[in-house]
Amino acid sequence: MGVLVSLAGVLTILAQGSVAVLASLKLNIGDIFVILSMAMWSVYTICLKWRPAGLHMLTFLFVLACIGDLCVLPLFLAEIAFGRHMSVTFTNIAALFIVGLFSSVLAYIFWNRGVELVGPSVAGLFVHLMPVFGVILAWIFLDERLAPFHLAGIALILTGIWITSRLGRRIAPAPAGTD
């Protein structure tokens, strides 16, 4: 129930509170890539429960990074072959460092720990916070106006997360004879 409420909030923001806008949405190639990446992230989150118990989180992330680097290596080599390369400037190196540290290493550490603590079904729902942060950041930094559909969508998302994380937890019954 919480997932449906939260998803209704995402759709409220996406559709600007209008069923007609939602019905008229058309997917482009970028949208399809985002949907595929979200599906892959869901699979990753679910598969975290199979990480070997004795494997340290940083070792696990290092192995994942190596596998990821090998997967994108052909794309990197293709860009070099086509004469595309990054300008080596202090700003570009600093940006790479910041993205690498915060959006990659620390984000994965915190996400993996969160999944470990609350489980993949609850943690996965927190992806629905992306539109909430998008709305809030656009309001703060881009001077966008908050509309009633923004507030309704945010309220639905937060309610759905609350339902799933608080009411969705089931207390395991105590073993017989331990009263």
> Average pLDDT, whole number, for the chain?
85
Task: Give the dihedral sign, CA 131/126/140/34.
Answer: negative
Note the pLDDT of residue 170: 55
Return the SS3 of 172: coil
pLDDT digits over 73-92, tens only? 999 999 999 998 888 999 99
64-73, 92-101, 151-160, 168-177, range with the lowest pLDDT: 168-177
pLDDT score of 126? 82
- Is it the case that residue 167 has pLDDT exceeding 90? no
Please give the Cα distance from 131 to 59 (Å, whole number): 32
Task: Write the burial class of residue 178 (CB in 10 Å: 0-12 exposed, 13-18 middle, 19+ buried).
Answer: exposed
With cut-offs at 50, 70 and 90, classify the pLDDT of residue 169.
low
Average pLDDT over residues 112-124: 84
Check whether 30 has a pLDDT greater than 70. Answer: yes
> Any idea what DSSP says for residue 86?
-
Is the predicted pLDDT of residue 25 greater than 70, yes or no?
A: yes
Note the pLDDT of residue 176: 54
Lowest mean pLDDT of 55-59, 133-137, 138-142, 166-170, name the range: 166-170
pLDDT at 94 exceeding the cut of 60: yes
Count CB-CB contacts under 10 A for residue 10: 19
- Whether the pLDDT of residue 151 is over 90: the answer is yes
